[in-house]
């Protein structure tokens, strides 16, 4: 059978792209390698009765227009509020920021009056930065290497909006693009724990430390969900993040898309410089006039195409694209709740995120370990206990706890700097898991007694199980040199590729990673000529 479009990969972006193409009347086939849809936005019953958002765990950036266009709530998507962030401190104190503005202000004032005032100013400034950046998320980046006047006009329009901001906001914007998260926050705040916990979102998905220039921008990337203003923007998905993917898949099917799982693609077929179909690992072939890959450039160009299909300088640029996975995940099945020394007992503080980020030096030391090729002895962690908000994910009285961990560098090295083989992670997996538990136990000593089962995902597991090269959670680092018209490579940031009728629509394209759907939607619009 011949299709109008074949989408490779049933992650949320591939599904989003398929849904928009099918909505426009195209005959679409989605081919997913795994037995389950969702890619890194997936729910799996890892232990009987315990359902985990195995990889991504909070939904922050999903574009409101996609929720509307695809009517996702009707297809079962429900986002539940994640109220605030608790940061336990080694001295038994804590910082607990919640969605209630006044409460948070009082809490910060407990640490520093000046910081409580600065927090309001900072919030306002970030809203302005977000306002400026947000329209960029849904645009196809212009190509500065081309003389196409449309691209130049788009760049000019961004320049004009930049000029329209106040001088103060313009300075902030330049600082965001050039400074480290820690330095940027230093300009606003004096409380170490506040700066540390806020700087954390500057390093997620990068192989950089909170003091590395460029991380301030990543702060903004993660802040944009909050700017949508409603709690829906920062939340847990009922049934896990797989429920978001499944809702998008249902919408795609309703528009007529066909979705197949356990169909791994091994090759993109071409004729005369044009993509014509795909071949599966078992040799079956499917043909279509358009092929869209939601998988990263390493798979799409270096594995599924022949070198002769691509210009040499493009191949060089694809090989230069940086993945450098730096994160791991530990999912715990618990028979009761952890008890934090800083706020004993159960309570609303356990319903939000729990951030293990007690100081800026702590964060930077965690990175120091990774820089030299080992996992952090005391890692940064972002922890959630979704079963408190959504009891459907665990048996009665039991809980699931998700621990996102950084740093876990993909490439491990020996103490004298020699590169270890990739499967070294198989030997270090349990030691990494133990380090995570030991770190949590410093703040919640009862954690060990509560654990029924644990799943430890190293960057190697993330690569093997989810097809994310080097375990990078965003299909490639979210660093400035790999964003906007540079993502994935300069000159090819418009979802097109050097192979005619072959497009890209995953997180490796603008505007990057996160459960956002924007790459999938933008790519569909490009294909549809909108």
Ligand X SMILES: Cc1cc2nc3c(=O)[nH]c(=O)nc-3n(C[C@H](O)[C@H](O)[C@H](O)COP(=O)(O)OP(=O)(O)OC[C@H]3O[C@@H](n4cnc5c(N)ncnc54)[C@H](O)[C@@H]3O)c2cc1C
Residue ranges in contact with ligand X by CB under 6 A: 8-14, 31-34, 39-41, 55-58, 60-61, 264-265, 294-295, 299, 327, 329, 404, 462, 466-468, 473-475, 506-507, 513-515
79 in helix, strand or coil?
Answer: strand
**Which C-beta is closer to ligand X: that of 118 or that of 278?**
278
Pick the closer one to ligand X by CB: 179 or 330: 330
Least distance between ligand X and beta carbon 405 (Å): 9
User: At closest approach, how far in Å is the CB of 195 from ligand X?
Assistant: 22
Output 318 or 342, the one with its CB closest to ligand X. 318
Question: What's the min distance (Å) between Cβ of 225 and ligand X?
Answer: 8
Q: Residue 89 or 462: which CB sits closer to ligand X? A: 462
Q: Report the distance separating Cα 220 and Cα 138, nearest Å.
A: 16
CA-based nearest residue to 494, from 144, 61, 31: 144
For 285-315, the DSSP string reads EEEEEEEEE-S-HIIIIIISS-GGGS-HHHH
427-430: long-range contacts, CB 8 A cutoff, minimum separation 24: 428/375, 428/458, 429/456, 429/458, 429/461, 430/456
Q: Which is nearer to ligand X, 10 or 433 (CB)?
A: 10
For residue 321, the number of C-alpha atoms closer than 13 Å in the C-beta half-sphere is 31
Let me know how long the chain is. 530
Name the 3-class secondary structure at 85.
Answer: strand
For the bound state, the minimum distance from the C-beta of residue 375 to ligand X, rounded and expressed in Å, comes to 14
Whichever of 212 and 327 has its CB closer to ligand X, that residue is 327
Q: Which is nearer to ligand X, 50 or 474 (CB)?
A: 474
Least distance in angstroms from the C-beta of 283 to ligand X: 14
* CA–CA dist 216, 153 (Å, integer): 28
Report helix, strand or coil for 33.
coil
Least Cβ distance, residue 293 to ligand X (angstroms): 8
Helix axes 113-137, 167-178, angle to 10 degrees: 80
Instruction: Report the nearest approach of ligand X to the CB of residue 425 (Å).
Output: 14
Specify the pairing of strand 2-8 against strand 285-293: parallel
């Amino acid at each position: 059978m011949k299709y109008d479009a074949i989408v490779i990969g049933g992650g949320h972006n591939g599904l989003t792209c398929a849904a928009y193409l099918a909505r426009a009347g195209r005959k679409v086939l989605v081919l997913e390698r795994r037995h389950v849809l969702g890619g890194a936005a997936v729910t799996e019953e890892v232990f009987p009765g315990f359902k985990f958002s195995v990889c991504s765990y909070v939904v922050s950036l999903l574009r409101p227009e996609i929720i509307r266009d695809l009517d996702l709530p009707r297809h079962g998507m429900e986002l539940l509020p994640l109220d605030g962030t608790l940061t336990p401190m080694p001295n038994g104190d804590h910082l607990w920021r919640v969605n209630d503005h006044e409460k948070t202000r009082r809490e910060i004032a407990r640490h520093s009056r000046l910081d409580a005032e600065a927090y309001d100013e900072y919030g306002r400034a970030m809203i302005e930065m977000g306002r400026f950046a947000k329209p960029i998320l849904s645009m196809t980046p212009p190509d500065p290497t081309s003389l196409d006047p449309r691209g130049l006009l788009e760049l000019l329009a961004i320049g004009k909006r930049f000029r329209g901001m106040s001088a103060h906001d313009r300075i902030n914007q330049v600082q965001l693009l050039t400074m480290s998260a820690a330095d940027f926050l230093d300009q606003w705040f004096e409380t170490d724990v506040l700066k540390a916990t806020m700087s954390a979102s500057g390093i997620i998905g990068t192989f950089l430390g909170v003091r590395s220039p460029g991380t301030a921008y990543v702060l903004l990337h993660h802040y944009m969900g909050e700017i949508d203003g409603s709690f829906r923007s920062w939340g847990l998905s009922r049934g896990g993040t797989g429920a978001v993917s499944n809702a998008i898949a249902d919408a795609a099917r309703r528009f007529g898309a066909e979705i197949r799982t356990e169909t791994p693609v091994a090759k993109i077929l071409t004729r005369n410089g044009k993509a014509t179909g795909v071949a599966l690992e078992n040799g079956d072939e499917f043909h279509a006039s358009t092929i869209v890959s939601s998988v990263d450039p390493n798979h799409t160009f270096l594995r599924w195409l022949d070198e002769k299909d691509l210009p040499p300088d493009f191949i060089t640029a694809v090989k230069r694209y940086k993945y450098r996975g730096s994160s791991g995940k530990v999912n715990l099945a618990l028979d009761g709740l952890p008890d934090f020394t800083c706020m004993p007992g159960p309570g609303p503080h356990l319903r939000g995120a729990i951030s293990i980020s007690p100081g800026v030096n702590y964060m930077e030391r965690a990175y120091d370990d990774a820089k030299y090729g080992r996992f952090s002895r005391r890692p940064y962690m972002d922890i959630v206990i979704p079963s408190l908000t959504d009891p459907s994910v665990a048996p009665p009285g039991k809980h699931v706890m998700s621990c996102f961990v950084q740093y876990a560098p993909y490439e491990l090295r020996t103490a004298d700097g020699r590169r270890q083989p990739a499967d070294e992670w198989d030997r270090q997996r349990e030691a990494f898991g133990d380090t995570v538990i030991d770190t949590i136990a410093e703040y919640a000593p009862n954690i060990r007694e509560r654990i029924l089962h644990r799943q430890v995902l190293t960057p190697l597991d993330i690569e093997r199980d989810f097809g994310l090269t080097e375990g990078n959670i965003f299909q490639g680092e979210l660093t400035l040199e790999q964003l906007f018209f540079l993502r994935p490579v300069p000159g090819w940031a418009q979802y097109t590729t050097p192979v005619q009728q072959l497009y890209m629509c995953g997180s490796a394209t603008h505007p990057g990673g996160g459960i956002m759907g924007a790459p999938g939607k933008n790519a569909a619009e490009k294909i549809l000529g909108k």
